[in-house]
Amino acid sequence: MNIGIDIEEVKRFDKYAKDKKYLERVFSKEEVLYSLPKKNASQHLAARFAAKEAVWKALSAKDKKLSVTDISVRNNKDGKPQVYIKNKKYGRIDVSLSHTKKYVAAVAVAF
C-alpha cells in the first residue's frame, strides 16, 4: 500500500482558470468541463490538481514514467472521485478530497 497527499491554495488557481493553454496542458477535458462552469471554479480545479498530485505521489514508486498529466479525476454518478490513468479507470486507488475557501487537500491510497 502506498499513500500520497497534497494541499493547494485555491487562490493560486484563480489565474489558471482563465489560462486556456494551462488548462489544456494540465487537466483533462472532463476535469475542465466539470470545474469551469462552477461558481467556485478555482476551488474545483485546485481540488482536481491536489488529487492528481496525491495519486502521482502514491503511484510514482511503482511507475517512474507516470506524469501528473496522465492522471484524471472524475466523479462517479454518486459524486465519489474516481481515478483514471491515461483515460482508463484505475480501480486500485482511493481518493478523498477536502476543502475550505482557501485550501484544498487530497489523499490517495493505492493498494
* 77-94: average pLDDT: 94
- Show me where the domains of the chain are located: 2-110
Is the per-residue pLDDT at 95 higher than 80?
Answer: yes
* Strand residues in the chain grouped as ranges (E): 2-9, 71-75, 81-85, 88-89, 93-99, 103-110
Structure confidence at residue 104 (pLDDT) = 98
Is the per-residue pLDDT at 55 higher than 80?
Answer: yes
Residue 61's pLDDT band, with cuts at 50, 70 and 90, is: confident
Instruction: Give pTM, 2 decimals.
Output: 0.93
Which CATH number does the domain 2-110 belong to among 3.40.50.150, 3.90.470.20, 3.30.70.1060, 3.40.50.2300? 3.90.470.20
* Grid coordinates given for 27: 487537466
Closest to 53 in 3D by CA, of 42, 33, 69: 69
Q: In degrees, to the nearest 5, what angle opens at C-alpha 61 toward C-alphas 96 and 29?
A: 50
Is the per-residue pLDDT at 77 higher than 80?
Answer: yes
> How far lies 28's CA from each of 2, 71, 74, in Å?
24, 8, 9
pLDDT digits (tens, 9 = 90+) for 21-35: 999 999 999 999 999
